[in-house]
Amino acid sequence: MEAIDFFLFYEVMARLVDLCDQLSGELAPVHVPRVLTVAGSDSSGGAGIEADVKTITAHKCYAVTCITALTAQNSLGVHNVTTTPAETVEKVLVAIADDQIALDAIKLGMLPDETLSVITPFLAARAARTPIVLDPVFVAKNGDRLSSVGALKKAVELFQHAALITPNSREVEVLLAVLRSSDPSVEEITITTADDFYTAARLLGSRFKVDVLFKGGLVPVNENLAVDPENPVYILNVLYEHRSEKLTVFRSNHIDSPNLHGTGCTLSSAVACYLARGASLATAVENAIGFVNEAIRHAEVKPNGPLNHTWAIKRPHEVRKDAGLLSFLMNHEKSSHTGKVHSSPVCAAGNGRHAAGGKNSIISLNRTTATCRPTTACT
């Protein structure tokens, strides 16, 4: 079975377009969706606004930022949180609002209560035309609380401006508690089965009148779809669209990896990117889940380590700026100056690059998928 190398195909087509532009004397304008992330900074780089910027860039969108807090944290926990003064946050948002280039989507992360008064009017003025994805960062993955209790009810008021909220299981518990604080009749839900996922998502969506993506990464389920961290088989992400009352369940195979720091931030940012590009909500969520899964699989293994947000980004080729299509093809790592095409796959193994036909042997665009083993052979 042969598969097209889509990255190389894309680059060749891009060069063809560029060549046509040069011949016509015109450069075709390219719209790059602008995604604003309003969130706290993670000094370790794995989560927060750092993860947002990496994710937005990986999706070929343009990241605009407003930092709401500086955190001193690492893979072991959050050690200190310093909130950005509300006056500074307001000035940043005013500068963004005054920009002549419109935003295509907004992603919200950590929102300290001191900043809510200036963030709310900014969102209210844009909610009708700009999709807003709100990740209610109340609790970090390791259990550390990032927002004060007093901020919770104020933060919930922002839901009316959001196109989607993306709570994890701990944040779902917090939101259910907020509902019960004003309405004791709200049932207590312990997430133990798939039905509990569905019930919680429906309840939050219908009561807060907002679409909800219940992220199930912290509560993996077994083959019977019962929460079972000791025997994880699947991850359930449940999307509830409150206007249509439609429930969509995204079931992924559980990935046994310690590299989970920043998964929530990354997923929410990826959803915002797809919405910025005009995708439907369900499609945006499905694609975002796929991106996160691959970022986990491609991550360097470390305890509570970060994802590999760059897994889908190919390094720029060192081709002279004025080089044309022919020069690009001749100097490409998968091209041969002799024009000879080898069908054998190439892989990196041992101390060098090995393939049938020599170290410069190149494969065709329709290449055979190779499995690289920790030896010098490819199969």
Percent with pLDDT over 90 in the chain: 56
Summarised one tens digit per residue, pLDDT across range 337-365 is 433 333 332 222 233 333 333 333 222 22
153 pLDDT above the threshold of 80: no
Mean of per-residue pLDDT scores for the chain? 79
Question: What's the token pair of residue 28?
Answer: 């075709």
Tokens at 237, concatenated: 């992400």
Q: Which of 154-158, 165-169, 240-244, 289-293 has the lowest mean pLDDT?
A: 154-158
Q: What is the mean pLDDT of residues 356-378?
A: 29
DSSP of 145-187: B-S-HHHHHHHHGGGGG-SEE--BHHHHHHHHHHHHHH-TTSP
- Asked whether residue 187 carries a pLDDT value surpassing 80, the answer given is yes
pLDDT surpassing 80 at residue 103: yes
- Alpha carbon 309 to its chain's center: 8
> What pLDDT was estimated at residue 31?
85
pLDDT (tens digit per residue) in 198-231? 999 999 999 999 999 999 999 999 999 999 999 9
Residue 182: band (very low, low, confident or very high) from pLDDT cuts 50, 70, 90: confident
Question: How confident is residue 320, by pLDDT bands cut at 50, 70 and 90?
Answer: very low
Tokens at 345, concatenated:
């796959």
Distance of alpha carbon 204 from the chain centroid: 23
pLDDT score of 348: 29
Taking the CA atoms of the chain, what radius of gyration do you get in angstroms? 23
Say how many Å lie between the first and final Cα of the chain, rounded. Answer: 13
- Reported as a pLDDT band with limits 50, 70 and 90, residue 78 is confident
pLDDT of residue 345: 29
Which amino acid, one-letter code, is at 179?
Answer: L
- Provide the residue count of the chain: 379
SS3 253: strand
Task: Express as a percent the part of the chain with pLDDT over 70.
Answer: 72
Predicted local distance difference test score (pLDDT) of residue 364:
22
What are the chain's domains? 34-297 (3.40.1190.20), 331-379 (no CATH)
